[in-house]
Amino acid sequence: NAGVMQNPRHLVRRRGQEARLRCSPMKGHSHVYWYRQLPEEGLKFMVYLQKENIIDESGMPKERFSAEFPKEGPSILRIQQVVRGDSAAYFCASSPGERALYEQYFGPGTRLTVT
């Protein structure tokens, strides 16, 4: 069984560019979560999505950040006009369903560096 896959593993962007982070959940999982870990800080929830729907985006910055989980294909976290403060590790997690939302399986993360 393949685990949660994220790509790219490392991403370097210049200030003002766009970053697109992809996440493929575990097979059979339709619930996806994104978390961010700033350098030397803890993990912070960003957004929770089910197929084609954003369920909870209470942790998403109000501007420049968006997420989607289309019917077909991976979930995408998009950061427009990146700034140095966006440099962080971004982790995606998936869960098996309604009765186990807190049992989440994490990917290896994407390390974003903004220069």
- Shortest distance, CB of residue 81 to another protein, whole angstroms? 27
Q: How far apart are CA 69 and CA 65, in angstroms?
A: 14
Provide the token pair at 61: 């910055």
Residues present in the chain in total: 115
- Shortest distance, CB of residue 10 to another protein, whole angstroms? 11
When the beta carbons of 45 and 66 are compared against another protein, the nearer one is 45
When the beta carbons of 52 and 103 are compared against another protein, the nearer one is 103
- Shortest distance, CB of residue 103 to another protein, whole angstroms? 6
Q: How far apart are CA 3 and CA 6, in angstroms?
A: 10
- Shortest distance, CB of residue 16 to another protein, whole angstroms? 27
Q: Half-sphere exposure of residue 80, counting CA atoms within 13 Å on the CB side? A: 7
| Interacting residues toward another protein by CB under 8 A | 4, 31, 33, 35, 42-45, 48, 55-56, 58-59, 89, 91, 93, 95, 101-109
Q: Which residue has the tokens 């896959």?
A: 5
